[in-house]
Chain A
Amino acid sequence: MIELPDRTEPRVGLQSRGNRHHLGSTRSQNDFRSRSPSSALSIPSSTTSFSGSDKRSVLRPFPMSHGTTTLGFIFQGGVIAAADTRASAGGLVACPAVHKITPLHSHLVVTSSGSGADCMLWERILAREIRLYQLRHKRRLSIRGTAKLLSFMLQSTRITQTGSTDYGPKLIYVCSDGARLQGDVFSVGSGSPYAYGVLDRDLKWNLSVPEAVSLAREAVFRATHRDAYSGNNVDLFHITAQGWHQRKREDLKEEYYRKIEEIRHTNESG
């Protein structure tokens, strides 16, 4: 992807919810909503969709891929985006090592959930559109503008371009049914309730960067432990005014065994 010249204002973390009426898997797509029906924030949807009466949902001929846990939050050191790496198709782990977090430019990443194909498509379209915007207008589209663009593209009724001059870290949740929410912490996917539980407890504004990273990792780990459709590894991005930085992908199996060891150690010494 073409690297865009750095802007002076730090803008980070556009999250969006993925498709909503998804029957198969839920891979949360932060940043973009996919247009085709799939569940963004729904509980694992291999058989039914929890997202209520989706009168627009389409009957799937086969279970689609992706259960997911993705999350993002803002703190004093910027924005953290974390996601698991499992793609599930019904009860099968279709791929244990997918990338659910994609950088769009040096200061913007998108996490995705819902139908993987749709997410990839919309990521690419959005990347193209914001690059075109930058070339035409000689400035980068703001995070909120990008979210609005995505939301309108997915709505497919009209496209609106917006610009905004606010700076700072941002986290926006976009969903295929049209919702756009800006906030400080979001988690999307089948594992999101578990992640919320961990995040809501320990999240504070003045966490240090290592603490925030370990909180994000812990939240994804706990979600993958309980949610069958999330698992394998955890991807973590940390975005600051200087741009995004990706941590090495960590295998959660190791984390699990490390935690077992810790517990055994405390039990033995305690």
Chain B
Amino acid sequence: MEYLIGIQGPDFVLVAADNVAASSIIQMKHDYDKMFKLSEKILLLCVGEAGDTVQFAEYIQKNVQLYKMRNGYELSPSAAANFTRKNLADYLRSRTPYHVNLLLAGYDDADGPGLFYMDHLSSLAKAPFAAHGYGAYLTLSILDRYYKKLNTLSSSFQLNRRFILNLPSFSVRVIDKNGIQELQKVTVGAAK
């Protein structure tokens, strides 16, 4: 099962996704990246039905870039999230809904960091922390207990390392005022 998690800090958002692309019982790829870069400071994490994820995420990605080309400035994370949700909602009542669950994480120079949770029924919620997948059942309670408003990046990352399930590795990225940085991949052996 696929897994996404996002944690918002005071001036950053930390996101992680597993690296498995599976098909029924076989792991087709173990180094698959589920994060899509919408702009310099916005990441879209996408899981769900096999073809829909890439299709939908790339569609959103290209449209966000088109907005920048047309208007000269980038969409804010909140605007991008609402745009994504609107698209999901429009397709929901069509013949071909997209079955995808998303996390959109971004840093707005005016509003600061933001994490948006969206699911396949096109609900949208801005949240301090969020997760998708079976792993969410385990990790949300931990986050409820231990999340503090003023957590720092290193403690967020530590919290992240504890969330390893049976998935072999996770890519982790953090967004702050400097943009998107990739942190080291977290593998099963690393959790203590």
Contacts and interface: CB of A to CB of B under 8 A. Distances in A.
A157 B96 CA distance: 9
B52 A193 contact: no
B190 interface: no
Given A155-B51, A193-B26, 6 more contacts: A40-B23, A41-B23, A178-B50, A181-B28, A181-B29, A186-B28
Interface in B16-31: 21, 23-26, 28-29
Main SS of the interface on chain A? loop
Interface string A31-74: 00000000011110000001110000000000000000000000
B32 interface: yes
Interface range on chain B: under 10, 10 to 19, 20 to 34, or 35 or more? 10 to 19
Interface range on chain A: under 10, 10 to 19, 20 to 34, or 35 or more? 20 to 34
B24 A51 contact: yes
B49 interface: yes
A50 B54 CA distance: 22
A42 B32 CA distance: 20
Interface in A149-204: 151, 155, 157, 173, 175, 177-181, 183, 186, 192-193, 196
B155 interface: no
A178 B26 contact: no
A211 B23 CA distance: 28
B55 interface: yes
A155 B23 CA distance: 18
B90 to A, nearest CB: 13
A193 B25 contact: yes
Contacts of A179: 21, 23, 50-51, 54
Interface string B43-54: 000000111101
A46 to B, nearest CB: 16
A180 B32 CA distance: 11
Residue of B25, B51, B55 ringed by the most chain A CB atoms within 10 A: B51
A173 B28 contact: yes
Contact of B29 (A40, A151, A183): A183
